Amino acid sequence: MEVIICQDEEAVGAYGAAKVAQIARAVGPSVVIGVATGSSPLSTYANLAAMVHDGTLDLSDATAFALDEYVGLPIDHPQSYHATIHRTVTEQLGLDPARVHVPDGSLENLQTAGERYEAAIKAAGGVDVQILGIGANGHVGFNEPTSSLSSRTRMKTLAPRTRADNARYFDSIDDVPIHCVTQGLGTILDARHVVLVATGAQKANAIAAIVEGPVSSMFPGSVLQLHQYATIVVDEPAAELLTMGAYYKHVNDNLPAWQRLDV
Ligand code: GLP
């Protein structure tokens, strides 16, 4: 696990985007990117969008897979993840909407939503780089505490903490859906690279738990300790409960030239 501690949110976005772009350029035009909703990756998307606009990164042939979707929200509801991903990712990064996939959260097709999504990821050749945020309770995607560490895409019930955190996007907490469809932790682990971004003191507990705590379904993001290429990019407030922060900085200050990222 690579831990990068940046000064502020802006620097997190710059580093996260540089890492994703490095992988995307190495893979080539048909790169498959896993994308997340939430406020955490927005600065990463903004930096990627700047690269697309100045011509240093071309994602017009890329494929994208979102992590999750609420159950029962129409896809044109502004807070559906279909709409959110379209607004914050597809339009910003110049992706082809036909190649941007979001799990099907419609009630009618719920039973098969997971296996259909897994099949689509497989058909695309798997995810090359997965961008992740993290919930304050340690969830990734919508894999709430006690999610199976080898889970695949399926319906889940949102934790009360998650519904409360996400109520800011709705008129009232009662409007936040109870269920979701999310990629599983096993699905996320299958991505070839993972780049998790987190900012702010409200994420410090979750970051300390997933980076330095035991691998445990009580903090689902801790499953990334099992991933060969996971990069955790955090700002100082989100890093404040890490006990080995000085070591992570020392590691990065002393990287050999060939491992350094040009940010
Ligand atoms: C939602 C999403 C997650 C995201 C989390 C954190 O629950 N399903 O993918 O990581 O929110 O959101 P934020 O980045 O806004 O704190």
CB of 162 shorter than 6 A to ligand 1 = yes
**In this structure, what DSSP letter does residue 20 have?**
H
Q: Name 87's Cβ contacts closer than 8 Å, sequence gap at least 6.
A: none
Report the nearest-CA residue for atom 11 of ligand 1: 38
For residue range 130-179, list pLDDT tens digits in order: 999 999 999 999 999 999 999 999 999 999 999 999 999 999 999 999 99
- Give me the pLDDT at residue 251, please: 96
78 lies in some domain: yes
215 lies in some domain: yes
Which tokens hold the place of 238? 């989100």
CATH number at residue 61: 3.40.50.1360
Nearest atom within ligand 1 for CA of residue 200: 16
156 lies in some domain: yes
238 lies in some domain: no
Report the nearest-CA residue for atom 9 of ligand 1: 141
Apex 178 CA angle, 118 and 142, nearest 5 = 40
**In this structure, what DSSP letter does residue 22 have?**
H
Q: 3-state DSSP call for residue 231?
A: strand
Mean pLDDT of 94-113: 97
Block residue for tokens 């560490």? 149
Q: Pick 263 or 21 by higher pLDDT.
A: 21
CB of 147 shorter than 6 A to ligand 1 = no
The answer to whether 34 and 64 are in contact (CB under 8 A) is yes
Say whether 68 is catalytic.
yes
Quote the ligand 1 centre to 133 CA distance (angstroms): 6
198 lies in some domain: yes
**Separation of alpha carbons 116 and 118, rounded Å:** 6
Quote the ligand 1 centre to 38 CA distance (angstroms): 4
- Give me the pLDDT at residue 156, please: 97
262, pLDDT greater than 90: no
110, pLDDT greater than 90: yes
Give the count of beta carbons closer than 10 Å to the beta carbon of residue 29.
11
Q: How confident is the model at residue 123 (pLDDT cuts 50, 70, 90)?
A: very high
CB of 131 shorter than 6 A to ligand 1 = no
248 lies in some domain: no
10 lies in some domain: yes
Which tokens hold the place of 179? 């269920």
- Give me the pLDDT at residue 43, please: 97
Query: Which among 82, 86, 139, 227 is annotated as catalytic?
Result: 139
For residue range 232-254, list pLDDT tens digits in order: 999 999 999 999 999 999 999 99
Q: Could you give the number of structural domains in the chain?
A: 1
- Give me the pLDDT at residue 34, please: 98
- Domain with 44 in it: 2-228
Q: How confident is the model at residue 184 (pLDDT cuts 50, 70, 90)?
A: very high
CB of 39 shorter than 6 A to ligand 1 = yes
For residue range 34-48, list pLDDT tens digits in order: 999 999 999 999 999
Mean pLDDT of 93-111: 97
234 lies in some domain: no
Report the nearest-CA residue for atom 5 of ligand 1: 135
The answer to whether 182 and 148 are in contact (CB under 8 A) is no
Mean pLDDT of 107-120: 97
CB of 135 shorter than 6 A to ligand 1 = yes
